[in-house]
Amino acid sequence: MTSSTLPLAGKRALVTGAARGIGAAIALKLAEDGADVAITYEKSAARAEALVAEIRRLGRQAVAIQADAASPDASVAAVHRTVAELGGLDVLVNNAGVLVAGAFADLTLEQMDLQLNVNVRGVFVITQAALNHIPDGGRIITIGSNAGLSVPFPGIAVYAATKSAMESFTRGLARELGPRHITVNLVRPGPIDTDMNPAEGPLAASILPSLSIARYGKAREVAEAVAFLAGPGAAYVTGSGILVDGGISA
């Protein structure tokens, strides 16, 4: 496939929290589909730079930006640097997120604030900043969770609440941006094999019986859903969401 026939040729994307796991898979897939890609990371500088090198080997522009998703100033600065480095911004993927599991009665205020600041306020701030640059016909895609629709096990009440907030935010923003043909959608992963929730980890035994497809998902499978929503074939899909959860929500 030549560069001119790639579905995202000429597009510029920013993927937050993309040094590893789902975010890294998304960034790589968007680059394979033709996009230049900026990624943010908090601490994993070496992994972020390795991903940038991999994207550049595909012939795309790429940049890694250190930014704490809980910091409004860092989020706004990441958008500005993306535009400066890539020459614009067409696709925003709000991937950065944090989960602190545990009984609600035992969560500290700091743990609650962290999840709210990254998973909710962080998305609000960077999306608002990005909209100063995203042209008509652009894309905003947020990584939600199947837990935003139903909570399959205890210990994630606050996390689930933050992901539920993204459901309403997505629908509301889709209404606002429809006249500009900017689509706003969610991808809702279920149990995905990553460093944070490995397929051989302690949660697997309790999760696997609830799945229709009895295995953990792959980060690449989430990335494929994001790439569809970022591409021209999803121009009439907005205010919606895709579950990538092996049927745990069925």
- Whether the pTM exceeds 0.75: the reply is yes
Annotated active-site residue 159? The verdict is yes
pLDDT tens digits in sequence order for the chain, 250 residues long: 666 689 999 999 999 999 999 999 999 999 999 999 999 999 999 999 999 999 999 999 999 999 999 999 999 999 999 999 999 999 999 999 999 999 999 999 999 999 999 999 999 999 999 999 999 999 999 999 999 999 988 999 999 999 999 999 999 999 999 999 999 999 999 999 998 788 988 878 888 999 999 999 999 999 999 999 999 999 999 999 999 999 999 9
Long-range contacts of 52-56 (CB under 8 A, 24+ apart): 54/28, 55/27, 55/28, 55/31
* Distant-in-sequence, close-in-space partners of 84: CB < 8 Å, separation ≥ 6: none
Catalytic residue, candidates 41, 159, 216, 236: 159
Q: Identify which of 206, 33, 151, 202 has the alpha carbon closest to the alpha carbon of residue 15.
A: 33
Work out the number of other CB atoms within 10 angstroms of the CB of residue 225: 23
Q: Identify which of 168, 196, 163 has the alpha carbon closest to the alpha carbon of residue 184.
A: 168
- What strands, in cross-sheet order, belong to the sheet with 183-189? 62-66, 36-41, 12-15, 91-94, 139-143, 183-189, 240-244
Please state which CATH class domain 9-244 belongs to.
alpha beta
